[in-house]
Amino acid sequence: MSMAHEDERKRARVAQLREVIMDLHAGKTVDEVRAKFKEVIKGVTAQEISAMEQALMDEGMPVEEVQRLCDVHASVFSEALESQADPRQMPGHPLRLFVEENRAFEKLIDGEIRQALDAFRAGADNAMELVGHVNLLFDVDKHYKRKEEVLFPFLEKHGVYGPTKVMWGVDDEIRAALKDARARLMTAGGSEQDRSAAADALQKATEKVKEMIFKEEKILLPMADEHLTDDEWRQVALASPEIGYSLIEPDDAEAWIRGYAGQATGATGATDATGGTGAPAAIHLPTGVFSLEQLELMLNTLPVDITFVDENDAVRYFSASRERIFTRPRTIIGRKVHNCHPPASVHVVEGIIDSFRRGERDVAEFWIHMGPKFVYIRYFAVRDGAGNYRGTLEVSQEISGIKALEGERRLLDK
């Protein structure tokens, strides 16, 4: 079969799968669609589903609508996807760690949570026990962040955009569902109606977590296994500890990096500070001269987090201060900024940057509560001497201590 013929066959398959989703979009049931497209659905692959989702968004279907249909079409394709082999399972491989975390989520949901939830529905006064289990399950947030901030950038480099946006949106739905369940449990009291609503909310949230496990292992991870090189997997492994792992301690990850992926060049993003001469390179600016090491130390010592996005909307730099407010794995370097934010909020960032580019504003600022922290976030337009837009600088600072200042302090305490 010629390459052109094979490409045409793939396009035809994607077009047929698109019909499946459009029928669901029009309101047909899962059973109706399965019956109509029995032969099309048979043998569907994760890559074909990915291409179909991408095609729908390229045609103008909002990501929110594709996201809404995601659960439904996963159900339609479930039988075919179940027969697919699991991604590689080498000890310490990032794929295996994602899968091991999923097994830990399932164990928690099908074990402690189900037992405590059954008791709660039967009238037990164990709402706070369930809150503790939900807090533990919310560790899934780190699992999702590693997908969104470490794995997705590499898929995007290979031209996979649509499925990542859809999955990120569903991840956010799960986060919201877990928070809702926790809030309801904490205020359930003795009302039968409140208790029932809290139990139903937790049941819904855990079901969503398990549905995501299926989508990851039958769609996302096989797709990543197909596209990513060993060096890219090594970079995923190197960036992952910045965010952390969920319910597991991957002691063998470092061994995998050394052994299987090898010491690939350029994987850590390190820069030669000597210019190849053996002596520290000097950076000359109009107001001073320092070495590359001094510049890095200075930026990382500032009491703020800095992220720079260039005029082409690509992330080019972030500071590595000791206690960052927002995690920034190295894999975001070079990533388009709109792919670094969940679908629900990306329009805010895009609006800010567009207003900077058009010259309508130079600063945008926000302040939010994050637990005990009060975070001040500012965006600044970066312009050259001629006023041309050259990028955006994001500066974030924890200011609860600053807000609490009163009076004066003129002497240094001993």
Would you list the DSSP string of 335-364? -BGGGGS-TTTHHHHHHHHHHHHTTS-SEE
Q: Which range is least confidently modeled, 71-75, 309-313, 377-381? A: 71-75
Q: How far is CA 41 from the centre of its chain?
A: 29
Q: Break the chain into its structural domains and give their ranges.
A: 3-82, 94-259, 302-403
Residue in the block written with tokens 């061994």: 255
Helix (H, G, I), strand (E, B) or coil at 321: coil
- In 3-state terms the chain splits into helix, strand, coil percentages (rounded to 5) of 55, 10, 30
Cα–Cα distance, 289 to 295 (Å, whole number)? 9
Residue whose C-alpha is closest to residue 131's, from 172, 175, 184, 177? 184
pLDDT in tens, 204-225: 999 999 999 998 998 899 889 8
Task: Return the HEC string of 173-239.
Answer: HHHHHHHHHHHHHHCCCCCHHHHHHHHHHHHHHHHHHHHHHHHHHHHHHHHHHHHCCHHHHHHHHHH
pLDDT in tens, 393-402: 999 999 999 9
pLDDT in tens, 70-103: 655 566 566 655 655 555 566 788 999 999 999 9
230 and 262 in contact (C-beta within 8 Å)? Answer: yes
Q: Which range is least confidently modeled, 104-113, 137-146, 218-227? A: 218-227
Residue 68 pLDDT level (bands cut at 50, 70, 90): low
The CATH classification number of 302-403 equals 3.30.450.20
The CATH classification number of 94-259 equals 1.20.120.520
Query: What whole-number percentage of the chain has pLDDT above 90?
Result: 46
Would you tell me how many other CB atoms lie within 10 Å of the CB of residue 262?
12
The mean pLDDT value of the chain amounts to 83
